[in-house]
Chain A
Amino acid sequence: MIGEGGGSDAFASLAHALGTAFKESTGEAWPDDVFDRWAQRVFAYQFDTNPVYAAYVRKRGVTPSTVLGWSEIPWVPASAFRAVPLVSGDSSRVQRVFRTSGTTDAGRRGEHHVLDLGLYRDSLIPNMRRHLYAGRAGGPDRPDGEGPIFPILALAPAPARVPESSLSFMLGAALDGLSGGKGGFFVTEDGVIDMVGLSDALVEAAAHGTPILLAGTAFAFVHWLEWLQARNGGFDLPPGSLIMETGGFKGRSRVLERTEFYASLSERHGVPLGAIVNEYGMTELLSQFYDGPNVATSDMTLEARRHVAPPWVRTRVLDPNTLSALPIGEPGLLCHYDLANAGSVMVVLTEDLGVAVDDGFRVLGRAQGSEPRGCSLAMDDLLSGVPS
């Protein structure tokens, strides 16, 4: 498998093989050797086709032949997506550039250059199906017999309006691929929520009685809840419905504890807490993690929840000082190995703190100090710096 050459055909065949493996997976974790074979194959491909990453890796004294296991494959920091284009393959064939929302560093936004949106779809669809669609009853059957259809109402802009948003792309793909085209988007590209439109859609869903998936950013949900609260209103979702929220608040909205947030969602939409799922994802990764009921081993209390990866992703928790892997239970930085990132860089070290548990991890938050930073300057406080 090693040394497939750098051509775009190499990527096409790798992406095809990966996509097939993703789609055929049952959702159960792959044995170590299976994941390892895939990871080494992707690494060898990226080493061959991504000269920037290859030079970076070589500086660390690493090549595909020195890597004995997937965990030795060098990571890039998430912020690197802000610094240089990271493309493994022919950059003239990039199909889409997703951009981060730019909430951390003023100025530069992270860019994920995606060579194959099909591979992204092949990763997100089976994962969403497993966590948000499977095992639920009450919807009309799909023509292909793959379970019932649940409309998706998205508190996010439509993908056509915000082609740079990987989240909108994902929700659009779910609407087409899992919800039978039923549902809609209720946020404009400028971030304005169509409160009336969403209200109407929720009334209609209630009348219909079909369970739905209400999905969106936590940020948008906060505004939606404030709007409902101001009117002392709410919309009970049909039984069997789920809410998926993502993204955290990132300081752009008032601080709302997750407990309070979920209690409010539960109350205003008449769903149990267990029907509210967090999606942990980032523009820099083409796979996502969920903490929903389909992976709950015990209960759905917030304390007991953990995020679970699809079989094609492994996550290590690293000691922030030494970067060595930490045992279960010790908090550190989350580092993801995502095979769906075959066209960019597979291993991404995040700024998120988390702790490993049995078959997943808990996200503890951003690795940011709580104390004032003294007389040294925080990144966000300055305008743009010195022009050249």
Chain B
Amino acid sequence: MRTTFDACRLPSFSSESPTGPPTLAWETIDVSEGVAVRYPAWPGDAAERLLEVLREAGARLADVPVRDLVTCVGRVADRFLDPSDLIRHRAIDLLVPTAGLSKEMASEILTGMARDWTAERLTELLRRELQDPGVLDGFCRLDEGRSVRAKGPLLTFHVGAGTVPGVSVTSMIRALLVKSAVLLKPGLRDVVLPVLFAEALAEEAPELSDAMAVTYWPGGSSPLEGLALQRAEAVVAYGGNEAIRSLRTRTPVTARFIAYHHRVSVGLVGREALTAERAPRVAQMVARAVSMFDQRGCVSAHAIYLEEGGAVAPGEWAALLASAMADLEAELPGGELTAADASAVHQMRGSAELREASGKGVRVFRADESFWTVILEDEMGFTHSCLNRVVSLFPTSDLGAVVGSLGELRSYLQTVAVEGADDRLPMLAEALCRAGATRVTTFEKAPWPPPWWHHDGDSVFAGLIRWIDLEEIG
């Protein structure tokens, strides 16, 4: 059966006008065979009204204690995590056709994402980032002769990418915590969670209702886009380099611009992890790290560097990894792919198999009925994955040498998952830092960085808040 999902959640407009929201014309776009997304067109006057309502609500947010915000968001998170709550079921059912995920993966991702939206995690996030979250409510004494206050923007404009569902909600929550009204344009494949989240939060906290708008439009196509860039005090953008470039050039110089452009992540497996005892477990962890989000996350590894000289040779370990990928496919199946994504896998995998057939020493392990593919390369290098569980393995005689050459990726390198470097980890971490990486972790933790991670090297709230110093006078 075909569903239509309205990728739009608007303020009530009640404070502004007794007539309610403006009348909007709707357009429809197919996301997959199972679902179409409907979204409003925003003529300039309606867009102006929306932005005005949001900015006014943003001004009123200054009076809401941050503790209350945490509590309200946390209650929504609890609902998303509650297996008996209908909102969780609705979210998962809609994520399958919109995000192109299996039901199992949708459930796994929702749990992982919502866990970081709970009151407990948000409180911890605020404490770690601000020490005293009270600075968001009023001036707090910082040191001798100085009090400080942290103030968020009146309105932040968020542009989501749509690769991993839930990322846009996290972005919204961070802005709400610093008491900013939010306009979110989600990516087409991440429309569900932001809309459901904003609806649920408005139910929990009617006073926040006018401070959130979620509305999809194809990038660059709506007058609202240009106006939002002008009216927002901060712009948070996730996306491809072209999209980021376009948004950046249109953002006023006086607005904050926080961008998360393309990233790649890789993994390193040292010879210490390639013992008969450890190797199978490492393979399982790598399989999970690669397959989570069907490899569409910025934290998802494209390539794994395997150190030679362990008890388990690269070829044997590749087979172990393949077996773990197959197990994981059964536990967390891959989703239905877009034609473009599926085509990319067929091309990359088929080419690798022809290289294998040419006897060069390349080996390919693959599923017959699904997309996971392990390509064991015969010479050092780096290959971008076509995503959706296609990973390349590069044997190397020395992990240290790999780290040096990763510097070539430095503008894009993000997470490096490491296993089996043992005593060499401090040295490797320093080298990875110099190579441009912003996170060194284990394969187990790689898919799920904590809320307070320095995403792409930045503090969570640094770009959003403005510090006000109150120096003691007299």
- A residues neighboring B (CB under 8 Å): 51-56, 59, 75-80, 82-84, 86, 320-321, 323, 331-333, 349, 351, 353, 367-379, 381-388
Partner pick for B343 among A51, A84, A320, A385, CB 8 A cutoff = A320
* A353-B339, A382-B384, A386-B382 given; A76·B354 CB < 8 A: yes
Q: CB-nearest residue of chain B relative to A349?
A: B346
Contact A375 B263 (CB under 8 A): yes
The tally of residues in B whose CB lies under 8 Å from a CB in A reads 62
- B residues neighboring A (CB under 8 Å): 161-164, 187-189, 218-219, 238-243, 260-264, 295-298, 300, 302, 336-344, 346-359, 379-384, 387, 405-406, 408-409, 412, 414
What is the predominant secondary structure among interface residues of chain A facing chain B? loop
Partner pick for A375 among B260, B344, B350, B351, CB 8 A cutoff = B260
Contact A385 B263 (CB under 8 A): no
Residues of A within 8 A of B405 (CB): 386-387
Q: Which 10 A-B pairs have the closest CB atoms?
A: A374-B163, A375-B298, A374-B161, A372-B240, A77-B350, A55-B357, A320-B342, A372-B239, A386-B382, A56-B357
Partner pick for B163 among A51, A349, A367, A375, CB 8 A cutoff = A375
Residues of A within 8 A of B297 (CB): 375-376
Contact B340 A84 (CB under 8 A): no
* A52-B358, A83-B354, A321-B342 given; A385·B383 CB < 8 A: yes
Contact A378 B350 (CB under 8 A): no
* A76-B350, A80-B354, A351-B347 given; A374·B238 CB < 8 A: yes
Q: CB-nearest residue of chain A relative to B241?
A: A381
Residues of A within 8 A of B387 (CB): 376
Extra contacts, 4 of them, besides A53-B357, A374-B164 (Cβ < 8 A), are A77-B350, A373-B161, A378-B240, A381-B262
Residues of B within 8 A of A79 (CB): 347-348, 350-351
CA distance A103 to B36 in the complex (A): 32
Contact A371 B346 (CB under 8 A): no
- List 15 contacting pairs A-B, 8 Å CB cutoff, sorted by A: A53-B357, A83-B354, A84-B357, A320-B339, A333-B343, A351-B343, A367-B342, A367-B344, A369-B340, A373-B240, A374-B240, A374-B298, A376-B298, A376-B387, A386-B406
Partner pick for A80 among B262, B300, B337, B351, CB 8 A cutoff = B351
Residues of A within 8 A of B349 (CB): 77
Residues of A within 8 A of B355 (CB): 83-84
Contact A376 B163 (CB under 8 A): yes
CA distance A281 to B347 in the complex (A): 18
CA distance A80 to B238 in the complex (A): 33
CA distance A321 to B238 in the complex (A): 27
Contact B187 A372 (CB under 8 A): yes
Contact B339 A382 (CB under 8 A): no
Q: CB-nearest residue of chain B relative to A333?
A: B343
Residues of A within 8 A of B300 (CB): 376
Residues of B within 8 A of A382 (CB): 384, 409, 412
Q: CB-nearest residue of chain B relative to A81?
A: B351
CA distance A239 to B296 in the complex (A): 55
Q: CB-nearest residue of chain A relative to B360?
A: A84
Contact A369 B354 (CB under 8 A): no
A-B contact count (CB 8 A): 166
Q: CB-nearest residue of chain A relative to B408?
A: A386
Q: CB-nearest residue of chain A relative to B244?
A: A372
Residues of B within 8 A of A86 (CB): 354
* A367-B339, A382-B384, A388-B380 given; A374·B296 CB < 8 A: yes
Q: CB-nearest residue of chain B relative to A50?
A: B357
Residue among A51, A75, A321, A353 with max Cβ neighbours from chain B (10 Å): A321
* A77-B347, A367-B343, A386-B381 given; A375·B358 CB < 8 A: no
Residues of A within 8 A of B242 (CB): 372
B350 to chain A, nearest CB (A): 4
CA distance A370 to B218 in the complex (A): 9
CA distance A54 to B353 in the complex (A): 12
Q: CB-nearest residue of chain B relative to A75?
A: B350
CA distance A332 to B340 in the complex (A): 10
A271 to chain B, nearest CB (A): 34
Residues of A within 8 A of B380 (CB): 386, 388
CA distance A52 to B163 in the complex (A): 36
Partner pick for A321 among B295, B337, B348, B384, CB 8 A cutoff = B337
Partner pick for B384 among A53, A370, A377, CB 8 A cutoff = A377
Residues of B within 8 A of A376 (CB): 163, 262-264, 295-298, 300, 387
* A79-B348, A375-B163 given; A59·B357 CB < 8 A: yes
Partner pick for A373 among B260, B262, B352, CB 8 A cutoff = B262
CA distance A387 to B340 in the complex (A): 28
Contact B341 A369 (CB under 8 A): yes
Partner pick for A367 among B239, B340, B358, B408, CB 8 A cutoff = B340
Contact B163 A80 (CB under 8 A): no
Residues of A within 8 A of B409 (CB): 382, 385-386
* A83-B354, A388-B381 given; A375·B238 CB < 8 A: yes
A115 to chain B, nearest CB (A): 18
CA distance A51 to B358 in the complex (A): 8
Residues of A within 8 A of B187 (CB): 371-372, 374
B74 to chain A, nearest CB (A): 26
Q: CB-nearest residue of chain A relative to B100?
A: A321
Residues of A within 8 A of B358 (CB): 52, 55, 84
CA distance A333 to B343 in the complex (A): 8
Partner pick for A385 among B163, B347, B381, CB 8 A cutoff = B381
A50 to chain B, nearest CB (A): 10
Q: CB-nearest residue of chain B relative to A318?
A: B346
Residues of B within 8 A of A373 (CB): 161, 163, 240, 262
Q: CB-nearest residue of chain A relative to B342?
A: A320
Q: CB-nearest residue of chain B relative to A85?
A: B358
Q: CB-nearest residue of chain B relative to A368?
A: B340
Partner pick for B357 among A52, A321, A349, A387, CB 8 A cutoff = A52
CA distance A82 to B353 in the complex (A): 13
A198 to chain B, nearest CB (A): 34
Contact B350 A349 (CB under 8 A): yes
B148 to chain A, nearest CB (A): 32
* A374-B238, A375-B163 given; A369·B338 CB < 8 A: yes
CA distance A383 to B264 in the complex (A): 13
CA distance A353 to B346 in the complex (A): 14
B331 to chain A, nearest CB (A): 20
Contact A374 B379 (CB under 8 A): no
Q: CB-nearest residue of chain A relative to B299?
A: A375
Contact B261 A375 (CB under 8 A): yes
Q: CB-nearest residue of chain B relative to A388?
A: B380
Residues of A within 8 A of B359 (CB): 52, 55
B355 to chain A, nearest CB (A): 5
CA distance A387 to B407 in the complex (A): 11
Partner pick for B339 among A56, A333, A379, CB 8 A cutoff = A333
Residue among A321, A367, A372 with max Cβ neighbours from chain B (10 Å): A372
Residues of A within 8 A of B296 (CB): 374, 376
Contact B346 A77 (CB under 8 A): yes
Contact A333 B346 (CB under 8 A): yes
Residues of A within 8 A of B383 (CB): 385
Q: CB-nearest residue of chain B relative to A86?
A: B354
CA distance A379 to B353 in the complex (A): 20
Residues of B within 8 A of A375 (CB): 161, 163-164, 238, 260-263, 297-298, 414
